[in-house]
Each structure stands twice: as structure tokens, then as C-alpha cells.
């Protein structure tokens, strides 16, 4: 059975509300990298790009000259407590690895999605990217906000706008399997 791939282009709109956890997506258009320090700076000084329909990539890319050399995702859960304000400004999606917590899952409901990209695939990610600019360069390469144009970056919907979460489902499945194993081992 061939699974379909949903093709999306930023800025994102209400189409993200129809995505389902586990669906495959190819994303094109502008994204903005942001890790811990960038989130804190945007809370303090404002968002330096138009947030309406924007996508935030939890990533500290390696930039050489005007080229993205590597751009693997960072652990998104680190941004659980400092990402919600971005949804309030119109941001529609986050990209990262490992999922986000229950607070963000609730905040995404009816507003946006979380896309998962596999850790360890930094070179693959960069092969789909063109560097377009930078904000907060004083934060350094890993923490600056880089404006990057994507060309069909392959992603999976990790958390959909209905609260479905592939990471939580996997944790629950593992917990149940371990309980069953423990029961049988007695």
C-alpha cells in the first residue's frame, strides 16, 4: 500500500488543521531556525519576521559562507515552556525531534502542528535548504534565527491540531508492552 505525501508550502494556513499524526509531508518555502536563546530574544525584543503562517525549525545549523552545511533538528522538548507565545502571533508549525510536551500539545490544538524530522540526518536536511538571511546574528551560529528556504523537506506529522501525538502513542505502547512482559515473566 503506497502512502500519500502531503505537499505544503509556507506560509501555512488552515490546511494544517486537516493533517493527521503520522502523515508524511514534504514542506517547501521559508522556515526560521530557533533554539532556546532565540525564543527568549523573540519574547523580549519581538519576532524579526512575519509570524503569520510561519514555521519554526528547532535547529542550530552549521553555516559556511552563504551555505547551509548541516541542519539537523534539536530536541524540541527543551522549548516546551518558551514556544507557546509564537502560536499566539500566528506561527503554524514547529519542526524538531523527539516531540513536545503535553502543554504544547494542548496549545497546538486547533492552531498548528508539530513536524518531526529524524535526528542524525543533518546532511539530508541541508540538501533541501537554501540560506536566505539571518536575524540576531549576535547570538552566534547555533542560536541565531536563520531564514532558510526549503525545497520539499520530508517530514512526519508528530503532533496534529487535534491533540494526536505519535510520540505519546509510542510511549504508551511501550509502557503497555513492558507491563505485559513483566506480567508474563512472573
CB 53 within 8 A of CB 10: yes
Residue of 39, 128, 162, 173 with catalytic role? 39
Confidence of residue 12 (pLDDT cuts 50, 70, 90): very high
Residue with cell 518555502: 29
39: annotated active-site residue? yes
Q: In the structure, what pLDDT confidence band is assigned to residue 170 with cuts at 50, 70 and 90?
A: low
| Residues forming beta bridges with residue 111, ordered by sequence position | none
Domain ranges of the chain: 5-185
What is the pLDDT at residue 141? 94
Judge: domain 5-185, CATH 3.20.130.10.
yes
Sign, Cα dihedral of 40, 51, 7, 13 = positive
pTM > 0.85: yes
> Nearest CA to 19 among 103, 98, 116, 86?
116
Summarised one tens digit per residue, pLDDT across range 14-54 is 999 999 999 999 999 999 999 999 999 999 999 999 999 99
If DSSP codes are grouped into helix, strand and coil, which group holds residue 151? strand
Instruction: Say if residue 11 is preceded by a cis peptide, omega within 30 of 0.
Output: yes
Q: 27 with 55: CB under 8 angstroms?
A: yes
98 by Cβ neighbours in 10 Å (0-12 / 13-18 / 19+) ranks as middle
HSE of 166, CA atoms in CB hemisphere, 13 A: 19
Tens-digit pLDDT profile for residues 94-139: 999 988 989 999 999 999 999 999 877 788 889 999 999 999 999 9
CA distances 90 to 12, 22, 55, 110, 175, Å, are 10, 23, 10, 12, 36
Amino acid at each position: 500500500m503506497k502512502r500519500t505525501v502531503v505537499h505544503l508550502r509556507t506560509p501555512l494556513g488552515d490546511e494544517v488543521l486537516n493533517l493527521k499524526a503520522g502523515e508524511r509531508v514534504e514542506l517547501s518555502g521559508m522556515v526560521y531556525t530557533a533554539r532556546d536563546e532565540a525564543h527568549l530574544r523573540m519574547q523580549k525584543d519581538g519576532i524579526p519576521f512575519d509570524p503569520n503562517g510561519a514555521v519554526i525549525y528547532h535547529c542550530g545549523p552549521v553555516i559556511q559562507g552563504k551555505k547551509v552545511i548541516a541542519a539537523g533538528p534539536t530536541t524540541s522538548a527543551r522549548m516546551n515552556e518558551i514556544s507557546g507565545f509564537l502560536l499566539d502571533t500566528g506561527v503554524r508549525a514547529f519542526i524538531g525531534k523527539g516531540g513536545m510536551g503535553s502543554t504544547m500539545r494542548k496549545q497546538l490544538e486547533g492552531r498548528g502542528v508539530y513536524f518531526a524530522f529524524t535526528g542524525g540526518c543533518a546532511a539530508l536536511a541541508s540538501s533541501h535548504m537554501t540560506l536566505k538571511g539571518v536575524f540576531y546574528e549576535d547570538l552566534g551560529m547555533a542560536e541565531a534565527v536563520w531564514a532558510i528556504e526549503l525545497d520539499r523537506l520530508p517530514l512526519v506529522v508528530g503532533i496534529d491540531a487535534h491533540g494526536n501525538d505519535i510520540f505519546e502513542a509510542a510511549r504508551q505502547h511501550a509502557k503497555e508492552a513492558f507491563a505485559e512482559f513483566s506480567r508474563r515473566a512472573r
